[in-house]
Amino acid sequence: MTPLSYPLEVHMGESVVSVTAVSKQYVRVRRRPGVAGAMVDIFAPRVERIQALANIDLQVSAGHCLGLLGPNGAGKSTLIKLIAAILVPDAGAIRIQGLLPATDRHAYLRQIGVVFGQRSRLIWDLPVRDVLELFRMLYRVDPESYRARVERLVNCFDLADLIDVPVRQLSLGQKMRCEIAAVLVPGPSVLLLDEPTVGLDLRAQYALRSMLSELKRSADVAMLISSHELHDIEQLADSIVVMDKGRVVFHGDGEQLIQTYGTGYRVRVVAEGGTLAAHPGVEWLSANELQAEAQDTRTLTALLQWLPTACSAIVDVHVTVPSLEDALLKLYEGRCPGERLSPSS
Amino acid sequence: MSGYLRLVSIGYRRRLAYRGGVFSLIWLYALTFGVMICFWRFIGAGTEGETMRGFTYPETITYLFLAVLIRNFVNSDLDIRLATKISSGAFAGDLILPLNPILGNVAESIGTSLYMFTWGSLPIGAALMPFVPLVGTTLARLPAFAGTLVMAAAMNIYINYIAGLMSVWTRRIAGVLALKACLTLVLSGTLVPIAFLPDWAASLARWSPFASLTHVPVLSYLGKLSAGDLTAALAVQLAWMLVLHVLAAGLWSKARKRYAAYGG
C-alpha cells in the first residue's frame, strides 16, 4: 500500500483532540401506562433529564488511535457527535488543533473526517466520484493535492473499479471503503469512526482493519474509534477508554485492561494418571483431569514445567489465553453486580 | 461558492439518474397542463368578447398557463428534502460539513427545480403552446414581471424551508406538507385565478404570502397591475419576506436546540 501523507504540521505527542470536563444531558419523556395515562400525558407530560456524559476528559494526539468501548447507551456515540460538533456540550470544551466549534465552526469542521458505520454519507444515486469532488470544493483542497490524494486513496483502498459506479449498486463493504476514502480526501487531522465495521462480513472487516492500521502508520492522523467489534479495537487502538453510563470507567491500554480485569491463563489438562500432587492454583477435578489458573506468563511457564512431574502421560492440554472480551465482561459485571456476564467460574 | 454550485449540479443529476423518473415527470406535466387546458377551453368556449371578473378567456387561460409554469419553476422539493433528512437523522451528515446546512439544501433543491423545469414544464409547456390562445406581454412589463418572479422564488424557498423544518416537532410531516400544498394551490391562484374566488377568499388570498408566489408575477405579465398596485404588491411581498425571514431564523435556532436536547 502507498503511504498517505498530509501537509499538516502536527507534532507527535501534541494532542490534536482535547476534550475537557465535557458534560451533556438529554431530555427524556416518561409515559404513563394505558390509554388514560396517555391522555394525562397530553396535558402534563413528564420530562426527565438523563446524564449522557459526565465530566469527560480525553486527549488524542496525531498518529494515535483511541478506542472507545462500552455497553449500548454508555455515551460513546454522544461523545463522537459532540466532537463532530453535531451536538453542543452543556459544560466543558472540545478543541481540535486549538479550534473551538462555537467560534470557528467551519475551520473546526475542516479538521475532521467522520464515518458513521450505521449511516452512509455518500450520495445514493450518484457515483462516488461526485462526493469526492464535492468534498474537494467544500474543504477547499487545491486541484494538485486533490489529484494526488485521490490517486493514492484509489490504490490504497482498491477503488479503481468502484469510483464511477452509482453508490446504490455497491455492497456494504465497498461502500464503507469509499466512505472512508471520501472523508480522507480533505486530509483531516482527526478521523472519527463510529462502528465502521458494523454489518460487514469477515473478509471486509479484515480488509478494512488492515487499511485503517496502514493509514494510522503512514498518515499523521488522530483517530478515535468506537466499536463493539473487539478485533477493531485490538488491532487499531493504542489506548482504550471504557465508558459506562456517561462516565469513563477505564483509561489505559489493552494490556492494562486485561491485567486489571482479565481472568488470567486457564489451563485444562487430561492425563493418563496423576499423582494428585498439589501446586498453587491447581485444582484436580478427578485423578486424571486438572484445571489451573495462571495470572501471567511466568506462572504459566512454571505450571507447564511442573505438569510432567505430576502426571505420567499427558493426553490433552487446553490453554485459554486472557482476552479483552473476558476483561470487558468482568469490568461490566463489576459495575452491575448480580448480572452474571462472564463465562468463567 | 463553488461547493454550492456543485450541490446545484448534484441536485440536478440525482434526479436525472433515473430514466423512469424522467418519463413519469413528462407524463405528470402533460397531465397537469393538459387537464387544465381542456377544462378552461371548455369553460371559455363561445365567450369571445366577454369578460369574467375582468378577465377575457385568453387572459384567463394565459393566467393559468403561466401560473402552472411559474409554480413548477419556483417550487422545489426543499420541504420534503429537509423533512426526510430531519426525521431519518441524515441531517447530522449535513451538520458536519463545512457549509451552511440550510443553504446547502437550498442549493440542492434549486438543482431539482431546474431538472423539473428543463425536463418537465419547459418541453411540455412549449409543446402545448399552439393549443392555447396565449396573450403576449410588452417589453415595458418585463422588469416588473422579472422582479416579482425573483421575489416569488425567494419566498417559496422560505415557505418550503419553514414547512420542512416543522418535522423537528411532528412525526406526521406529510400532513403539514399537504396543508401547505393545498394552501399554495388555492391561495396562489394556480388552481383558479384569485379574481374568481369568492370576494372574501380573494382578499384573504391577496394579503396572504401565497398570492406573491404566482398571482403577482402573472398579473404583472398581463399588465393588470397599475403602478400603484404594483408598488403595493411589491411592498406586501417585501413585508412577507421579512416576516418569513424572522420566522425561519427563529425556528432554526429553536430547532437546533431541540435537536441537541433530544440527542439528534
Ordered DSSP codes for B115-129: HHIIIIIHHHHHHHG
What's the alpha-carbon Rg for chain A, to the nearest Å?
Answer: 25
Which of A159, A158, A223 lies closest to A194 in space, CA to CA? Answer: A223
Nearest to A137 among B6, B13, B262 (CB): B6
CA distance A139 to B83: 26
CB contact under 8 A, B97 and A105: no
Tens of pLDDT, residues A100-148: 998 889 999 999 999 998 888 899 999 999 999 999 999 999 999 999 9
CA distance A214 to B199: 74
Q: Which residues of A100-133 are buried (b: 16+ CB within 10 A; e: fewer)?
A: ebeeeeeebbbbbbbbbbeebbbbebbbbbbbbb
Residue of A nearest to B259 (CA): A87
Other C-beta atoms within 10 Å of A318: how many? 10
pLDDT bucket at B263, cuts 50 / 70 / 90 = low
Q: Look at A128 and B137; give whichever has higher pLDDT.
A: A128
Residue B202 is predicted with a pLDDT of: 93
CB contact under 8 A, B261 and A78: no
Residue A166 is predicted with a pLDDT of: 93
Residue pair B79/B160 in contact (Cβ under 8 Å)? The answer is yes
Beta bridge partners of A69: A242
CA distance B7 to B22: 20
Residue A1 is predicted with a pLDDT of: 40
Judged by DSSP in three states, A101 sits in coil
Nearest to B2 among A27, A84, A137 (CB): A137
CB contact under 8 A, B14 and A138: no
**B13/A contact by beta carbon, under 8 A:** yes
DSSP code, position A5: -
**B263/A contact by beta carbon, under 8 A:** yes
CB contact under 8 A, A88 and B264: no
Other C-beta atoms within 10 Å of A137: how many? 17
- What is the β-pairing status of strands A239-244 and A65-69? parallel
Residue A10 is predicted with a pLDDT of: 38
Beta bridge partners of B252: none
Interface test with B, best of A49, A87, A110, A167 (most B CBs within 10 A): A87
Beta-strand ranges (E) seen in A62-167 are: 65-69, 91-96, 112-116
CA distance A136 to A122: 14
Q: Which residues of A191-212 are buried (b: 16+ CB within 10 A; e: fewer)?
A: bbbbbbbbebeeebbebbbebb
How far does B88 lie from chain A, in Å, by closest CA?
10
Please give the share of chain B, as a percent, with pLDDT higher than 70.
Answer: 98
Nearest to A133 among B6, B14, B90 (CB): B6
Residue B261 is predicted with a pLDDT of: 66
User: Which residues make Cβ contacts (< 8 Å) with residue A238, sequence separation at least 6?
Assistant: A64, A65, A66, A253
CB contact under 8 A, A86 and B263: no
CB contact under 8 A, A137 and B3: yes
**B103/A contact by beta carbon, under 8 A:** no
Residue of A nearest to B95 (CA): A86
Phi, psi of A269 (to 5 degrees): -125, 135
Tens of pLDDT, residues B189-242: 888 899 999 999 999 999 999 999 999 999 999 998 888 988 998 899 999 999
Chain B residues close to A109, C-beta within 8 Å: 96-98
Other C-beta atoms within 10 Å of A48: how many? 10
Q: Look at A200 and B16; give whichever has higher pLDDT.
A: B16
How far does B84 lie from chain A, in Å, by closest CA?
14
**pLDDT higher than threshold 50 for residue B259:** yes
CA distance A150 to A160: 10
**B14/A contact by beta carbon, under 8 A:** yes
User: Which residues make Cβ contacts (< 8 Å) with residue A299, sequence separation at least 6?
Assistant: A265, A281
Q: Which residues of chain A have pLDDT under 50?
A: 1-12, 342-345
Tens of pLDDT, residues A88-104: 899 999 999 999 998 88
CA distance A41 to A228: 36
Nearest to B98 among A52, A121, A139 (CB): A139
CA distances for B260 relative to A90, A207, A286, B175, angstroms: 10, 35, 61, 25
Nearest to B262 among A27, A123, A133 (CB): A27
DSSP code, position B99: S
Q: What is the pTM of this model?
A: 0.83
Residue of B nearest to A119 (CA): B90
Residues of A with CB under 8 A from a CB of B: 26-27, 52, 78, 81, 84-88, 105-107, 109-110, 112, 114, 116, 119, 121, 123, 125-126, 130, 133-134, 137-139, 166
CA distance A26 to B127: 57
How far does B17 lie from chain A, in Å, by closest CA?
7
Residue B45 is predicted with a pLDDT of: 80
